[in-house]
C-alpha cells in the first residue's frame, strides 16, 4: 500500500468488533462476550464523509459510531506487545445496521452479513495518523442526529482494549495493510430515517477535535427490499 491514508480505496476488509461497551450490550439485551467477537463488512460499504447513507426499502437502519484502527503493517499471530507497531492510524466511522433484518436472522441462527453490508453502510472520516493523538484508549466519540446528541462515549469504556483486539483477530486471520478494525460502539444507538443529518466527532482529553464525519440519510431507490415473512 502506497500510503495508509489510502485505506478506503486499497484496504481488503473491515473487521468489526461487536459488544465492546457494557452499556450498549445492555441496551440491546445481548450477552457479554468472554473474548472479542467480530464480523466482517465489505469495503464496498465505505461512504466518504459528506455522502448519503442509502436506507433500503423496509429497513430500520440504526447508527453506531465507532473508533476505527487503520492497519499499516501486515501481520499474523500478533502479540499484544507488538500490536501498536501494526497500527498506522485511526478514523472515525459509523457502523450502520439494518436492525430489523438483523433481529430476524439472529433469532433463526442465520448469518447477518447482509444486515451490515449494504452499500454506504460504513460512513468513514478522513485518516488520522497515529502521531496526531496521545492515547487511543481515552478518546471521546459523539454522534448527533439533526443537531441532537444521541451518542457520547469514551474509548476508555471499551471492554477489550486495542492490543487484545489486534491479538485476537490476527490469531484467526491475517491482518493486512489497509484493513480497518472497528472497535465497537457506546450506548445510544438508534434509528435514522430519510432526511436525517448526522454529525460525528472524535476528540481527545483536551477537547481537541481529531476527526469529523458528516452524512445524510436518504431512501434507496431500487435494490433489495426487506419484507419479513408474516407469522
Q: What is the pLDDT of residues 207-217, one digit of tens each?
A: 999 999 999 99
Instruction: Please tell me the pTM assigned to this model.
Output: 0.94
18-21's contacts with Cβ under 8 Å and 24+ in sequence apart are: 18/184, 19/159, 19/184, 20/158, 20/159, 20/160, 20/183, 20/184, 20/185, 21/153, 21/157, 21/158, 21/159, 21/184, 21/185, 21/186, 21/187
- Whole-angstrom distance, CA of residue 11 vs CA of residue 43: 7
Residues 141-146: what's their mean pLDDT?
98
- pLDDT, position 29: 65
- pLDDT, position 25: 64
- pLDDT, position 230: 59
480505496: which residue's cell? Answer: 9
- pLDDT, position 16: 97
Local confidence band at 182 (pLDDT 50, 70, 90 cut-offs): very high
Residues 189-206: what's their mean pLDDT?
97
Domains for the chain: give ranges and CATH numbers: 3-219 (3.90.850.10)
Nearest 5°: CA angle at 132, between 10 and 89? 25
- pLDDT, position 34: 84
Residue 24 has pLDDT above 80, yes or no: no
Residues 99-120: what's their mean pLDDT?
95
- Residue 221 burial (CB < 10 Å; 0-12/13-18/19+)? exposed
Mean pLDDT (the chain) is: 94
Local confidence band at 1 (pLDDT 50, 70, 90 cut-offs): very low
Residues 127-142: what's their mean pLDDT?
95
- pLDDT, position 229: 76
Residues 130-145: what's their mean pLDDT?
96
- Please name the helix (run of DSSP H) or strand (run of DSSP E) that holds residue 64, with its range, or none: none
Amino acid at each position: 500500500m502506497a500510503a495508509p491514508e489510502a485505506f478506503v480505496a486499497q484496504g481488503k476488509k473491515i473487521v468489526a468488533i461487536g459488544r465492546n461497551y457494557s452499556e450498549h450490550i445492555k441496551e440491546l439485551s445481548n450477552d457479554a462476550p468472554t473474548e472479542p467477537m467480530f464480523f466482517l463488512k465489505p469495503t464496498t460499504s465505505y461512504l466518504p464523509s459528506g455522502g448519503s447513507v442509502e436506507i433500503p426499502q423496509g429497513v430500520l437502519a440504526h447508527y453506531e459510531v465507532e473508533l476505527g484502527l487503520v492497519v499499516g503493517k501486515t501481520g499474523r499471530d500478533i502479540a499484544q506487545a507488538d500490536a501498536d507497531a501494526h497500527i498506522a492510524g485511526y478514523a472515525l466511522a459509523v457502523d450502520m445496521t439494518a436492525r430489523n433484518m438483523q433481529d430476524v436472522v439472529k433469532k433463526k441462527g442465520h448469518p447477518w452479513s447482509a444486515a451490515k453490508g449494504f452499500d454506504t453502510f460504513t460512513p468513514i472520516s478522513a485518516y488520522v495518523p497515529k502521531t496526531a493523538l496521545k492515547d487511543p484508549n481515552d478518546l471521546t466519540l459523539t454522534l448527533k442526529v439533526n443537531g441532537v446528541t444521541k451518542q457520547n462515549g469514551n474509548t476508555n469504556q471499551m471492554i477489550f482494549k486495542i492490543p487484545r483486539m489486534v491479538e485476537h483477530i490476527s490469531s484467526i486471520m491475517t491482518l493486512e495493510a489497509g484493513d480497518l478494525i472497528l472497535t465497537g460502539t457506546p450506548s445510544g444507538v438508534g434509528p435514522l430515517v430519510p432526511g436525517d443529518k448526522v454529525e460525528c466527532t472524535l476528540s481527545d482529553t483536551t477537547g481537541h477535535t481529531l476527526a469529523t464525519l458528516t452524512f445524510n440519510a436518504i431512501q434507496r431507490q431500487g435494490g433489495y427490499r426487506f419484507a419479513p415473512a408474516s407469522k
